């Protein structure tokens, strides 16, 4: 009876060992893996349940969001920037920005400082904005200059990250909370 008990424990001990080793390995690999910024807590390094500008910018850069704008990480010229913004606003990818597409997002790219009407941009009165119309009016209204904070005529990765912070901060309280981050990620074509 006693022997049987010892064997049982011994067997149990042997069975547990591989699971324990796997757990140690899992913890080891989780700790050594690079940060992936998948949850709000990962972005919120100060753990105060809100993202300030530098937390947002750091995570944006570490997450390589800029790859969507520039394949090699180089700063974007104004004309490349306008083309990319056009593609983002053209949600249904039909090569035109419809009135709803225009009105739903244009203001955020000007950080709220936009008071024009779509008809001002629609030169040929086609009820949509062509790429040519967009580039012409984005240029006329200095869309890039609000992003290009060092005024070198290029949008760098950190300028893009800083601009995205303004876009993410929907209620304008100089912080991005969890709901705002979720919304920003959902529209993360931007």
- Judged by CB, which is closer to Ca ion: 25, or 41? 41
Q: Confirm or reject binding of residue 150 to Ca ion (CB under 5 A).
A: yes
Region of 148 please: left (phi>0), alpha (psi -120 to 50) or beta: beta
Residue 55, beta-bridge partner list: none
With beta carbons less than 8 A apart as the criterion, state whether 99 and 118 touch: yes
- Judged by CB, which is closer to Ca ion: 63, or 104? 104
Q: Backbone phi, then psi, for 39, in 5-degree steps?
A: -110, 165
Quote the least distance from Cβ 60 to Ca ion, whole Å: 16
* CA–CA dist 104, 81 (Å, integer): 19
Identify the residue among 173, 182, 185, 189 touching Ca ion (CB under 5 A): 173
Q: Confirm or reject binding of residue 103 to Ca ion (CB under 5 A).
A: no
Identify the residue among 42, 48, 67, 94 touching Ca ion (CB under 5 A): 94
- Inter-CA distances, 139 with 22, 79, 91, Å: 58, 8, 21
Q: Confirm or reject binding of residue 126 to Ca ion (CB under 5 A).
A: yes
Quote the least distance from Cβ 130 to Ca ion, whole Å: 5
Chain contacts with Ca ion (rule: CB under 5 A): 90, 92, 94, 96, 98, 122, 124, 126, 148, 150, 152, 154, 169, 171, 173, 175
């Amino acid at each position: 009876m006693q022997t049987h008990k010892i064997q049982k424990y011994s067997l149990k001990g042997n069975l547990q060992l591989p699971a324990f080793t796997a757990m140690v390995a899992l913890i080891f690999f989780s700790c050594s893996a690079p940060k992936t910024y998948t949850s709000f807590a990962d972005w919120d390094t100060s753990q105060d349940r809100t993202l300030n500008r530098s937390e947002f910018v750091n995570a944006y850069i570490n997450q390589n969001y800029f790859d969507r704008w520039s394949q090699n990480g180089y700063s974007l010229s104004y004309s490349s920037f306008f083309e990319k913004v056009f593609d983002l606003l053209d949600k249904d990818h039909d090569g035109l920005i419809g009135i709803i597409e225009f009105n739903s997002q244009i203001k955020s790219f000007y950080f709220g400082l936009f008071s024009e009407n779509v008809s001002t941009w629609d030169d040929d009165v086609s009820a949509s904005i062509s790429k040519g119309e967009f580039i012409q009016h984005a240029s006329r209204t200095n869309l890039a200059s609000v992003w290009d904070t060092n005024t070198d005529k290029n949008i760098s990765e950190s300028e893009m990250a800083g601009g995205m912070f303004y876009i993410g901060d929907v209620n304008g309280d100089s912080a991005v909370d969890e709901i705002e981050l979720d919304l920003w990620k959902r529209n993360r074509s931007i």
